Structure 1
Amino acid sequence: MEVAEQWIKKGYPITKVLEILEIHRSTYYYQQNGKVEKKTVDGGRPTPGCSLKATGEKVSDEQIQEWLSELVMGEGFAYGYRKLTIQLRRDHQLVISKKKVYRLCKAMDLLRPKREKRIPYPKKHARNRIITGSNQLWEMDMKYGYIEGEERFFLVLSLIDVYDCSVIDYHIGLSCSESDAVKTLQRALFKRQQLNRQINL
Protein backbone atom coordinates (compact mmCIF):
# COMPACT_ATOMS: atom_id res chain seq x y z
CA MET A 1 0.00 0.00 0.00
CA GLU A 2 2.91 2.35 0.77
CA VAL A 3 4.37 1.78 -2.71
CA ALA A 4 1.04 2.75 -4.27
CA GLU A 5 0.88 5.94 -2.21
CA GLN A 6 4.41 6.94 -3.30
CA TRP A 7 3.54 6.69 -7.02
CA ILE A 8 0.17 8.39 -6.56
CA LYS A 9 1.87 11.31 -4.75
CA LYS A 10 4.20 11.69 -7.74
CA GLY A 11 1.14 12.40 -9.90
CA TYR A 12 0.41 9.04 -11.53
CA PRO A 13 -3.27 8.11 -11.99
CA ILE A 14 -4.68 6.15 -9.05
CA THR A 15 -6.48 3.56 -11.19
CA LYS A 16 -3.34 2.82 -13.24
CA VAL A 17 -1.11 2.46 -10.16
CA LEU A 18 -3.60 0.17 -8.43
CA GLU A 19 -4.01 -1.91 -11.58
CA ILE A 20 -0.23 -2.42 -11.95
CA LEU A 21 0.20 -3.31 -8.27
CA GLU A 22 -2.91 -5.54 -8.38
CA ILE A 23 -4.62 -3.75 -5.50
CA HIS A 24 -8.40 -3.48 -5.46
CA ARG A 25 -9.70 0.07 -5.42
CA SER A 26 -12.03 -0.74 -2.53
CA THR A 27 -9.04 -1.89 -0.45
CA TYR A 28 -7.12 1.30 -1.22
CA TYR A 29 -10.00 3.67 -0.43
CA TYR A 30 -10.91 1.68 2.69
CA GLN A 31 -7.37 2.27 4.02
CA GLN A 32 -7.36 5.92 2.93
CA ASN A 33 -10.59 6.67 4.79
CA GLY A 34 -9.00 5.47 8.01
CA LYS A 35 -11.48 2.67 8.57
CA VAL A 36 -8.82 0.11 9.36
CA GLU A 37 -8.36 0.07 13.09
CA LYS A 38 -6.62 -2.31 15.40
CA LYS A 39 -9.09 -4.65 17.05
CA THR A 40 -9.22 -4.35 20.80
CA VAL A 41 -9.86 -7.24 23.11
CA ASP A 42 -12.48 -5.36 25.12
CA GLY A 43 -14.90 -4.61 22.29
CA GLY A 44 -18.45 -3.36 22.72
CA ARG A 45 -20.01 -0.88 25.08
CA PRO A 46 -19.78 -1.33 28.85
CA THR A 47 -22.73 -2.97 30.58
CA PRO A 48 -25.04 -0.40 32.22
CA GLY A 49 -25.54 -2.47 35.40
CA CYS A 50 -29.30 -2.00 35.40
CA SER A 51 -32.47 -2.55 33.40
CA LEU A 52 -35.72 -0.65 33.11
CA LYS A 53 -39.27 -1.56 34.02
CA ALA A 54 -42.13 -0.75 31.66
CA THR A 55 -42.80 2.31 33.84
CA GLY A 56 -39.25 3.61 33.29
CA GLU A 57 -38.04 2.73 36.79
CA LYS A 58 -34.44 1.48 36.98
CA VAL A 59 -33.74 -1.94 38.46
CA SER A 60 -30.18 -2.95 39.35
CA ASP A 61 -28.59 -6.13 38.03
CA GLU A 62 -28.19 -7.31 41.65
CA GLN A 63 -31.97 -7.13 42.13
CA ILE A 64 -32.53 -9.01 38.86
CA GLN A 65 -30.07 -11.69 39.99
CA GLU A 66 -32.01 -12.01 43.25
CA TRP A 67 -35.26 -12.49 41.29
CA LEU A 68 -33.53 -15.08 39.12
CA SER A 69 -32.38 -16.98 42.23
CA GLU A 70 -35.95 -16.97 43.60
CA LEU A 71 -37.29 -18.27 40.28
CA VAL A 72 -34.74 -21.06 40.08
CA MET A 73 -35.38 -22.07 43.70
CA GLY A 74 -39.14 -22.14 43.02
CA GLU A 75 -41.24 -22.84 39.93
CA GLY A 76 -38.48 -22.02 37.43
CA PHE A 77 -36.00 -24.70 38.53
CA ALA A 78 -36.23 -26.41 35.13
CA TYR A 79 -36.33 -23.19 33.08
CA GLY A 80 -33.68 -22.16 30.61
CA TYR A 81 -32.63 -18.54 30.20
CA ARG A 82 -35.32 -17.89 27.55
CA LYS A 83 -38.17 -18.96 29.85
CA LEU A 84 -36.59 -17.08 32.74
CA THR A 85 -36.61 -13.94 30.56
CA ILE A 86 -40.34 -14.38 29.86
CA GLN A 87 -41.02 -14.92 33.57
CA LEU A 88 -39.09 -11.78 34.56
CA ARG A 89 -41.06 -9.76 32.02
CA ARG A 90 -44.37 -11.13 33.35
CA ASP A 91 -43.66 -10.95 37.08
CA HIS A 92 -41.71 -7.69 37.27
CA GLN A 93 -42.62 -5.90 33.99
CA LEU A 94 -38.94 -5.75 33.10
CA VAL A 95 -37.79 -4.56 29.70
CA ILE A 96 -34.94 -7.05 29.38
CA SER A 97 -33.42 -9.08 26.56
CA LYS A 98 -32.74 -12.81 26.69
CA LYS A 99 -29.05 -12.03 26.01
CA LYS A 100 -28.79 -10.06 29.25
CA VAL A 101 -30.58 -12.80 31.20
CA TYR A 102 -28.14 -15.30 29.67
CA ARG A 103 -25.19 -13.16 30.81
CA LEU A 104 -26.58 -12.81 34.36
CA CYS A 105 -27.36 -16.54 34.58
CA LYS A 106 -23.85 -17.36 33.37
CA ALA A 107 -22.32 -15.10 36.03
CA MET A 108 -24.42 -16.88 38.70
CA ASP A 109 -23.75 -20.36 37.25
CA LEU A 110 -27.48 -20.94 36.71
CA LEU A 111 -27.30 -22.06 33.10
CA ARG A 112 -28.68 -25.50 32.46
CA PRO A 113 -26.41 -27.93 30.59
CA LYS A 114 -26.94 -27.98 26.84
CA ARG A 115 -28.89 -30.87 25.43
CA GLU A 116 -26.82 -33.42 23.63
CA LYS A 117 -27.47 -33.43 19.91
CA ARG A 118 -29.17 -36.57 18.76
CA ILE A 119 -27.22 -38.30 16.06
CA PRO A 120 -29.71 -38.97 13.28
CA TYR A 121 -30.05 -42.56 12.23
CA PRO A 122 -28.50 -42.92 8.77
CA LYS A 123 -31.10 -43.12 6.03
CA LYS A 124 -31.20 -46.18 3.89
CA HIS A 125 -31.57 -45.05 0.32
CA ALA A 126 -32.96 -47.37 -2.29
CA ARG A 127 -30.40 -48.83 -4.62
CA ASN A 128 -30.52 -47.32 -8.06
CA ARG A 129 -31.52 -50.35 -10.11
CA ILE A 130 -31.97 -50.56 -13.85
CA ILE A 131 -35.31 -52.23 -14.54
CA THR A 132 -35.59 -53.84 -17.98
CA GLY A 133 -38.80 -55.84 -17.60
CA SER A 134 -41.88 -56.63 -15.58
CA ASN A 135 -41.71 -58.41 -12.18
CA GLN A 136 -38.09 -57.34 -11.53
CA LEU A 137 -38.92 -54.82 -8.81
CA TRP A 138 -42.12 -54.30 -6.86
CA GLU A 139 -42.93 -51.53 -4.43
CA MET A 140 -45.49 -51.34 -1.66
CA ASP A 141 -47.34 -48.07 -1.16
CA MET A 142 -49.79 -47.11 1.57
CA LYS A 143 -52.22 -44.22 1.37
CA TYR A 144 -55.15 -43.16 3.50
CA GLY A 145 -58.35 -41.26 2.80
CA TYR A 146 -61.11 -39.64 4.84
CA ILE A 147 -64.68 -40.97 4.84
CA GLU A 148 -66.87 -37.89 4.94
CA GLY A 149 -69.91 -38.19 7.18
CA GLU A 150 -68.48 -41.12 9.14
CA GLU A 151 -65.51 -39.11 10.45
CA ARG A 152 -62.96 -41.87 10.04
CA PHE A 153 -60.16 -42.90 7.72
CA PHE A 154 -59.63 -45.80 5.35
CA LEU A 155 -56.32 -47.30 4.22
CA VAL A 156 -55.19 -48.51 0.80
CA LEU A 157 -52.14 -50.77 0.52
CA SER A 158 -50.97 -51.22 -3.08
CA LEU A 159 -48.36 -53.48 -4.65
CA ILE A 160 -46.88 -51.75 -7.70
CA ASP A 161 -44.69 -53.09 -10.50
CA VAL A 162 -41.96 -50.48 -10.94
CA TYR A 163 -41.41 -51.36 -14.62
CA ASP A 164 -44.80 -50.13 -15.86
CA CYS A 165 -46.21 -48.58 -12.62
CA SER A 166 -49.18 -50.94 -12.72
CA VAL A 167 -51.00 -51.93 -9.52
CA ILE A 168 -50.67 -55.71 -9.18
CA ASP A 169 -52.94 -56.07 -6.15
CA TYR A 170 -54.24 -53.96 -3.29
CA HIS A 171 -55.93 -54.08 0.11
CA ILE A 172 -58.52 -51.50 1.15
CA GLY A 173 -60.06 -51.28 4.62
CA LEU A 174 -60.44 -49.38 7.87
CA SER A 175 -57.23 -51.00 9.11
CA CYS A 176 -54.18 -52.64 7.57
CA SER A 177 -52.45 -55.28 9.63
CA GLU A 178 -49.38 -57.38 8.95
CA SER A 179 -51.57 -60.29 7.84
CA ASP A 180 -53.38 -58.00 5.35
CA ALA A 181 -50.02 -57.08 3.81
CA VAL A 182 -48.97 -60.75 3.59
CA LYS A 183 -52.27 -61.74 1.95
CA THR A 184 -51.94 -58.89 -0.57
CA LEU A 185 -48.41 -60.03 -1.44
CA GLN A 186 -49.54 -63.65 -1.81
CA ARG A 187 -52.36 -62.64 -4.17
CA ALA A 188 -49.94 -60.53 -6.22
CA LEU A 189 -47.46 -63.41 -6.49
CA PHE A 190 -50.27 -65.74 -7.59
CA LYS A 191 -51.53 -63.23 -10.21
CA ARG A 192 -48.06 -62.80 -11.67
CA GLN A 193 -47.26 -66.54 -11.40
CA GLN A 194 -44.28 -65.86 -9.14
CA LEU A 195 -45.15 -68.22 -6.25
CA ASN A 196 -42.52 -70.85 -7.04
CA ARG A 197 -39.87 -68.38 -8.17
CA GLN A 198 -36.94 -67.47 -5.90
CA ILE A 199 -37.26 -63.86 -4.80
CA ASN A 200 -34.22 -61.71 -4.00
CA LEU A 201 -34.97 -59.24 -1.23
Structure 2
Amino acid sequence: MRVIGIHEATYYARRQRLQREPKERTNNGGRPQPGYSWTQDGKRISDEQIKEYLIELIAGEESIYGYRKLGICLHKQHQLIINHKKTYRLCKELDILSPQRQIKAKHPRRMARNRTITASNELWEMDIKYGYIAGEDRFFYLMSLIDVYDRSIVDYHIGLNCEGADAANTLKRALWKRNCFEKEKKPIVRTDNGSQFISRVFEETCEQYQVEHERIPPKTPNKNAHIESFHANLERECYIKHTFESYQDAYQVVGEYIDFYNQRRIHGSLYNMPPAEFCRQLADGNVPAFIVTL
Protein backbone atom coordinates (compact mmCIF):
# COMPACT_ATOMS: atom_id res chain seq x y z
CA MET A 1 0.00 0.00 0.00
CA ARG A 2 2.94 2.33 0.63
CA VAL A 3 4.23 1.57 -2.87
CA ILE A 4 0.99 2.47 -4.64
CA GLY A 5 0.32 5.43 -2.31
CA ILE A 6 -2.90 4.28 -0.60
CA HIS A 7 -3.35 4.94 3.11
CA GLU A 8 -4.05 1.83 5.17
CA ALA A 9 -7.28 3.23 6.69
CA THR A 10 -8.59 4.14 3.23
CA TYR A 11 -7.96 0.62 1.92
CA TYR A 12 -9.79 -1.11 4.75
CA ALA A 13 -12.68 1.39 4.69
CA ARG A 14 -13.25 0.72 0.98
CA ARG A 15 -12.95 -3.02 1.54
CA GLN A 16 -15.60 -3.00 4.29
CA ARG A 17 -17.91 -0.85 2.15
CA LEU A 18 -17.67 -3.28 -0.75
CA GLN A 19 -18.42 -6.18 1.57
CA ARG A 20 -21.54 -4.42 2.85
CA GLU A 21 -22.89 -3.62 -0.62
CA PRO A 22 -25.40 -6.24 -1.85
CA LYS A 23 -24.28 -8.44 -4.68
CA GLU A 24 -26.04 -8.16 -8.00
CA ARG A 25 -28.88 -10.59 -8.35
CA THR A 26 -29.32 -12.37 -11.63
CA ASN A 27 -33.07 -12.84 -11.13
CA ASN A 28 -35.15 -10.24 -9.35
CA GLY A 29 -38.49 -11.81 -10.22
CA GLY A 30 -38.41 -14.70 -7.78
CA ARG A 31 -38.71 -18.32 -8.82
CA PRO A 32 -39.38 -18.63 -12.57
CA GLN A 33 -42.82 -19.80 -13.55
CA PRO A 34 -42.73 -23.34 -14.94
CA GLY A 35 -45.48 -22.70 -17.49
CA TYR A 36 -47.34 -25.94 -16.77
CA SER A 37 -49.11 -27.98 -14.07
CA TRP A 38 -49.42 -31.69 -13.43
CA THR A 39 -52.46 -33.90 -13.33
CA GLN A 40 -53.02 -36.57 -10.73
CA ASP A 41 -51.87 -39.27 -13.12
CA GLY A 42 -48.59 -37.48 -13.90
CA LYS A 43 -49.52 -35.78 -17.16
CA ARG A 44 -48.13 -32.29 -17.80
CA ILE A 45 -50.65 -29.62 -18.86
CA SER A 46 -49.43 -26.26 -20.18
CA ASP A 47 -50.70 -22.96 -18.81
CA GLU A 48 -52.21 -22.14 -22.21
CA GLN A 49 -54.29 -25.30 -22.04
CA ILE A 50 -55.37 -24.46 -18.48
CA LYS A 51 -56.48 -21.03 -19.68
CA GLU A 52 -58.67 -22.73 -22.28
CA TYR A 53 -60.19 -24.85 -19.52
CA LEU A 54 -60.94 -21.68 -17.57
CA ILE A 55 -62.57 -20.00 -20.58
CA GLU A 56 -64.77 -23.07 -21.09
CA LEU A 57 -65.77 -22.99 -17.43
CA ILE A 58 -66.81 -19.34 -17.38
CA ALA A 59 -68.81 -19.88 -20.56
CA GLY A 60 -71.06 -22.28 -18.71
CA GLU A 61 -72.74 -22.57 -15.33
CA GLU A 62 -69.42 -21.98 -13.57
CA SER A 63 -69.44 -18.31 -14.67
CA ILE A 64 -70.75 -17.39 -11.21
CA TYR A 65 -67.62 -18.73 -9.49
CA GLY A 66 -64.57 -16.86 -8.30
CA TYR A 67 -61.00 -18.05 -8.83
CA ARG A 68 -61.00 -20.36 -5.79
CA LYS A 69 -64.03 -22.34 -6.94
CA LEU A 70 -62.76 -22.34 -10.51
CA GLY A 71 -59.61 -24.01 -9.17
CA ILE A 72 -61.77 -26.68 -7.53
CA CYS A 73 -63.52 -27.23 -10.86
CA LEU A 74 -60.16 -27.66 -12.59
CA HIS A 75 -59.24 -30.27 -10.02
CA LYS A 76 -62.53 -32.17 -10.31
CA GLN A 77 -63.03 -32.01 -14.08
CA HIS A 78 -59.44 -32.23 -15.32
CA GLN A 79 -57.66 -33.80 -12.31
CA LEU A 80 -55.27 -30.84 -12.21
CA ILE A 81 -52.98 -30.29 -9.24
CA ILE A 82 -53.18 -26.50 -9.03
CA ASN A 83 -53.31 -24.16 -6.06
CA HIS A 84 -55.42 -21.04 -5.65
CA LYS A 85 -52.46 -18.69 -6.22
CA LYS A 86 -51.82 -20.00 -9.73
CA THR A 87 -55.54 -20.05 -10.50
CA TYR A 88 -55.71 -16.41 -9.46
CA ARG A 89 -52.72 -15.51 -11.68
CA LEU A 90 -54.18 -17.22 -14.74
CA CYS A 91 -57.61 -15.66 -14.18
CA LYS A 92 -55.97 -12.27 -13.85
CA GLU A 93 -54.08 -12.77 -17.12
CA LEU A 94 -57.39 -13.66 -18.78
CA ASP A 95 -59.12 -10.69 -17.08
CA ILE A 96 -61.94 -12.91 -15.81
CA LEU A 97 -61.66 -12.20 -12.08
CA SER A 98 -65.03 -11.54 -10.46
CA PRO A 99 -65.40 -8.10 -8.85
CA GLN A 100 -64.94 -8.09 -5.07
CA ARG A 101 -68.02 -7.80 -2.91
CA GLN A 102 -68.47 -4.54 -1.08
CA ILE A 103 -69.10 -5.52 2.52
CA LYS A 104 -71.48 -3.11 4.19
CA ALA A 105 -71.04 -2.58 7.89
CA LYS A 106 -74.09 -3.56 9.89
CA HIS A 107 -73.38 -0.72 12.31
CA PRO A 108 -72.15 2.32 10.35
CA ARG A 109 -69.44 4.38 11.99
CA ARG A 110 -70.56 7.72 13.40
CA MET A 111 -67.78 10.26 13.68
CA ALA A 112 -67.52 12.42 16.80
CA ARG A 113 -68.61 15.99 16.16
CA ASN A 114 -68.55 19.22 18.08
CA ARG A 115 -71.27 19.43 20.69
CA THR A 116 -72.67 21.76 23.33
CA ILE A 117 -73.44 19.96 26.60
CA THR A 118 -75.81 21.62 29.07
CA ALA A 119 -76.65 18.81 31.55
CA SER A 120 -75.59 15.45 32.89
CA ASN A 121 -76.27 12.27 30.90
CA GLU A 122 -75.96 13.98 27.54
CA LEU A 123 -72.46 12.82 26.59
CA TRP A 124 -70.37 10.05 28.10
CA GLU A 125 -66.81 9.15 27.18
CA MET A 126 -65.21 5.70 27.49
CA ASP A 127 -61.60 4.63 27.28
CA ILE A 128 -59.13 2.04 28.59
CA LYS A 129 -56.09 2.54 30.83
CA TYR A 130 -53.41 -0.06 31.50
CA GLY A 131 -51.85 -0.68 34.88
CA TYR A 132 -48.82 -2.76 35.85
CA ILE A 133 -48.75 -5.38 38.62
CA ALA A 134 -45.11 -5.52 39.70
CA GLY A 135 -45.54 -8.49 42.03
CA GLU A 136 -46.98 -10.66 39.24
CA ASP A 137 -45.18 -9.02 36.27
CA ARG A 138 -48.35 -8.52 34.23
CA PHE A 139 -50.81 -5.83 33.29
CA PHE A 140 -54.44 -5.19 34.17
CA TYR A 141 -57.09 -3.11 32.42
CA LEU A 142 -59.27 -0.29 33.66
CA MET A 143 -62.17 0.70 31.40
CA SER A 144 -63.83 3.88 32.64
CA LEU A 145 -66.97 5.75 31.62
CA ILE A 146 -67.13 9.44 32.53
CA ASP A 147 -69.97 11.95 32.30
CA VAL A 148 -68.60 14.97 30.43
CA TYR A 149 -70.81 17.45 32.29
CA ASP A 150 -70.49 16.46 35.95
CA ARG A 151 -67.14 14.60 35.57
CA SER A 152 -68.36 11.56 37.50
CA ILE A 153 -66.98 8.12 36.75
CA VAL A 154 -70.40 6.59 36.23
CA ASP A 155 -69.09 3.04 36.02
CA TYR A 156 -65.89 1.13 35.29
CA HIS A 157 -64.45 -2.31 34.68
CA ILE A 158 -61.21 -3.66 36.18
CA GLY A 159 -59.86 -6.96 34.96
CA LEU A 160 -56.97 -8.96 33.60
CA ASN A 161 -58.90 -9.05 30.32
CA CYS A 162 -60.98 -6.40 28.61
CA GLU A 163 -63.31 -7.38 25.77
CA GLY A 164 -66.35 -6.08 23.96
CA ALA A 165 -68.66 -7.86 26.41
CA ASP A 166 -67.02 -5.96 29.29
CA ALA A 167 -67.62 -2.66 27.49
CA ALA A 168 -71.25 -3.62 26.89
CA ASN A 169 -71.78 -4.58 30.54
CA THR A 170 -70.15 -1.35 31.73
CA LEU A 171 -72.50 0.66 29.54
CA LYS A 172 -75.56 -1.23 30.78
CA ARG A 173 -74.59 -0.69 34.43
CA ALA A 174 -74.05 3.02 33.77
CA LEU A 175 -77.50 3.33 32.19
CA TRP A 176 -79.01 1.56 35.20
CA LYS A 177 -77.17 3.73 37.74
CA ARG A 178 -78.33 6.92 36.01
CA ASN A 179 -81.92 5.66 35.53
CA CYS A 180 -81.64 6.11 31.78
CA PHE A 181 -83.46 2.99 30.62
CA GLU A 182 -86.88 4.65 30.75
CA LYS A 183 -85.76 8.01 29.39
CA GLU A 184 -86.58 8.78 25.80
CA LYS A 185 -83.28 10.55 25.17
CA LYS A 186 -80.29 8.38 26.03
CA PRO A 187 -76.72 9.60 26.53
CA ILE A 188 -74.36 9.72 23.58
CA VAL A 189 -71.32 7.47 24.14
CA ARG A 190 -68.02 8.59 22.64
CA THR A 191 -65.06 6.21 22.31
CA ASP A 192 -61.91 5.70 20.30
CA ASN A 193 -61.56 2.90 17.75
CA GLY A 194 -60.38 0.19 20.14
CA SER A 195 -61.38 -3.39 19.43
CA GLN A 196 -63.70 -3.44 22.46
CA PHE A 197 -65.71 -0.51 21.11
CA ILE A 198 -66.01 -1.63 17.50
CA SER A 199 -67.02 -5.15 18.53
CA ARG A 200 -70.34 -6.61 17.49
CA VAL A 201 -71.56 -7.12 21.07
CA PHE A 202 -70.93 -3.48 22.03
CA GLU A 203 -72.57 -2.10 18.89
CA GLU A 204 -75.58 -4.36 19.35
CA THR A 205 -75.92 -3.24 22.98
CA CYS A 206 -75.92 0.41 21.89
CA GLU A 207 -78.55 -0.39 19.28
CA GLN A 208 -80.66 -2.38 21.74
CA TYR A 209 -80.82 0.45 24.27
CA GLN A 210 -81.00 3.21 21.62
CA VAL A 211 -77.68 4.74 22.63
CA GLU A 212 -75.89 6.71 19.94
CA HIS A 213 -72.27 5.58 19.71
CA GLU A 214 -69.79 7.93 18.09
CA ARG A 215 -66.07 7.34 17.57
CA ILE A 216 -63.25 9.83 17.41
CA PRO A 217 -60.93 9.91 14.37
CA PRO A 218 -57.61 8.07 14.76
CA LYS A 219 -54.84 9.94 16.59
CA THR A 220 -57.18 12.59 18.03
CA PRO A 221 -57.25 11.96 21.82
CA ASN A 222 -58.29 15.60 22.30
CA LYS A 223 -61.73 14.54 21.10
CA ASN A 224 -61.90 12.32 24.20
CA ALA A 225 -60.31 14.91 26.45
CA HIS A 226 -62.30 14.34 29.65
CA ILE A 227 -61.64 10.63 30.01
CA GLU A 228 -58.02 11.20 28.95
CA SER A 229 -57.73 13.82 31.71
CA PHE A 230 -59.13 11.39 34.26
CA HIS A 231 -56.65 8.71 33.24
CA ALA A 232 -53.80 11.23 33.48
CA ASN A 233 -54.91 12.08 37.04
CA LEU A 234 -55.17 8.38 37.81
CA GLU A 235 -51.61 7.81 36.61
CA ARG A 236 -50.22 10.76 38.57
CA GLU A 237 -52.22 10.38 41.78
CA CYS A 238 -52.59 6.61 42.04
CA TYR A 239 -50.48 4.42 39.77
CA ILE A 240 -47.19 6.23 40.40
CA LYS A 241 -47.68 6.22 44.17
CA HIS A 242 -48.40 2.49 44.48
CA THR A 243 -46.46 -0.63 43.62
CA PHE A 244 -49.11 -3.27 43.09
CA GLU A 245 -48.05 -6.66 44.44
CA SER A 246 -51.09 -8.57 43.20
CA TYR A 247 -54.21 -8.17 41.10
CA GLN A 248 -56.31 -8.04 44.28
CA ASP A 249 -54.12 -5.21 45.54
CA ALA A 250 -54.58 -3.27 42.29
CA TYR A 251 -58.34 -3.91 42.29
CA GLN A 252 -58.72 -2.52 45.80
CA VAL A 253 -56.45 0.51 45.38
CA VAL A 254 -57.94 1.61 42.07
CA GLY A 255 -61.48 1.14 43.38
CA GLU A 256 -60.66 3.29 46.41
CA TYR A 257 -59.17 5.99 44.19
CA ILE A 258 -62.28 6.14 41.97
CA ASP A 259 -64.45 6.46 45.08
CA PHE A 260 -62.21 9.31 46.26
CA TYR A 261 -62.37 10.89 42.80
CA ASN A 262 -66.16 10.85 42.73
CA GLN A 263 -66.90 11.67 46.37
CA ARG A 264 -64.10 13.84 47.75
CA ARG A 265 -61.62 15.06 45.12
CA ILE A 266 -62.00 18.78 44.40
CA HIS A 267 -62.58 19.77 40.75
CA GLY A 268 -61.83 23.32 39.76
CA SER A 269 -64.33 23.14 36.88
CA LEU A 270 -67.11 22.13 39.31
CA TYR A 271 -66.93 25.18 41.58
CA ASN A 272 -64.21 23.44 43.64
CA MET A 273 -66.52 20.56 44.55
CA PRO A 274 -66.26 16.82 43.97
CA PRO A 275 -68.63 15.42 41.31
CA ALA A 276 -71.08 13.87 43.80
CA GLU A 277 -71.48 17.11 45.77
CA PHE A 278 -71.75 19.15 42.57
CA CYS A 279 -74.63 16.97 41.36
CA ARG A 280 -76.47 17.46 44.67
CA GLN A 281 -75.92 21.21 44.73
CA LEU A 282 -76.95 21.56 41.11
CA ALA A 283 -80.15 19.56 41.71
CA ASP A 284 -81.00 21.79 44.68
CA GLY A 285 -80.39 24.94 42.66
CA ASN A 286 -77.53 26.11 44.85
CA VAL A 287 -75.04 26.49 41.97
CA PRO A 288 -75.67 27.82 38.47
CA ALA A 289 -75.60 25.51 35.47
CA PHE A 290 -72.97 26.02 32.80
CA ILE A 291 -72.23 24.96 29.24
CA VAL A 292 -69.51 22.57 28.10
CA THR A 293 -68.43 23.14 24.52
CA LEU A 294 -66.35 20.51 22.76
The structure where helix makes up a greater share of residues is 2
TM-score tier after normalising by the smaller chain length: 0.3 to 0.5
Higher RCO (Cα < 8 Å, 6 or more apart) = 2
* Greater gyration radius: 1
Normalising by structure 2, we get a TM-score of 0.35
Length-normalised TM-score, structure 1? 0.48
